[in-house]
Chain A
Amino acid sequence: MTPKNLGQMIQRKRGSMGVRAAAGEIGISAATLSRIENGRVPDLDTLKKVCAWVGIDPASYLGMSSEQAESALPSVQVIFKKDRAVSPKTSRALAKLIQAAYQQFAATITPDGHG
């Protein structure tokens, strides 16, 4: 499932219900819900809430269970400029940068410390 598919599923489930009312039911802000409907990539906690509301397993979005997802990259923290729901293109490029940085940094660390 792509971020765009998830956005469409939310819109279908929401039907004629307003964004604010749906966001209230889900437990997220209306702005965040609107961004996810527009295909932005949410954070894990938001994703779990949205999936529970739509009635789907987060695994269909993540490609792994949310428990596995929580420990997949255990020690990374990303600082976003304004909002953590970023565009799919930025999210994908960031994922590649993080993976490359991880490999490069891991290679410099020896068991004794920095190599």
Chain B
Amino acid sequence: MLKRGFKSQCERRAVELRRQMHRVPVDPLPATDVARHFEITILSPSEIEGISDEDLNHLLREGSNEWSGFTLGISGHHLVVVNTAQSERRQNSVLMHELAHIILGHQLCAGTISSGGHFVPANYDQDQEDEAAWLGATLLVPRPALLWMRRVRMTNDQAATHFGVSPDLLSWRIRMTGIDYQLAAATTRHR
């Protein structure tokens, strides 16, 4: 459950961050630009040294549908590795989700490697996951951007392309913000 006022705070952050980065609220905000703004390192799996071709090929081919990325934190610095075998829009939302965790100051969760060499993740904090999901999606498509796409009569697909997000993420934002109800109510009032 999100804290009271959190959603409005996310909208303000999304607009404020665009302002700091010299953009208007309806401009797309690629997650890679946000990472650069916060000096967060991003590497692709193939840029990691010391991993065998066999493991790399597995992670980017056969096993590529099982993982999306990971974040490491060392002494206050962060590295995000995104699965480059997934679509660019998916990479954009995964990276923004991870950046949202960092922006919100969340503690990274623990994990370990078993004696058999398997990565065993510790359990996630669901509240933190919900917060990062909400902020990440809001940073990508803030409310003013959704109102704008309706005003200029952009289709959902055109808007998803403009903001570099999946049609699913865009539809989720439209539903969660209730902009269509808001616009319909405004039209009724003006009749």
Contacts and interface: CB of A to CB of B under 8 A. Distances in A.
Interface residues of B, number: 51
Contact of A87 (B41, B63, B75, B111): B63
B172 interface: no
B21 to A, nearest CB: 21
Contacts of A46: 123
Given A44-B123, A89-B63, A79 B113 contact: no
A interface, how many residues as a size bin? Answer: 35 or more
Contacts of B41: 105, 108, 114
B118 A79 contact: no
Interface string B101-136: 100000011111111111111111000000000000
A12 interface: no
A103 interface: yes
A21 interface: no
A31 interface: no
- Secondary structure dominating the interface of B: mixed
A94 B123 contact: no
A47 to B, nearest CB: 7
Contacts of A109: 74-75, 77
A91 interface: yes
Given A77-B101, A77-B108, A104-B48, A93 B58 contact: yes
B110 A43 contact: no
| Chain A to chain B: the 3 pairs with minimum beta-carbon distance, closest first | A63-B115, A45-B123, A90-B63
Given A74-B108, A76-B72, A77-B98, 19 more contacts: A42-B120, A61-B116, A73-B111, A73-B112, A75-B74, A77-B109, A78-B69, A80-B68, A80-B121, A82-B66, A93-B58, A93-B63, A95-B113, A98-B111, A100-B48, A101-B43, A102-B74, A105-B74, A109-B74
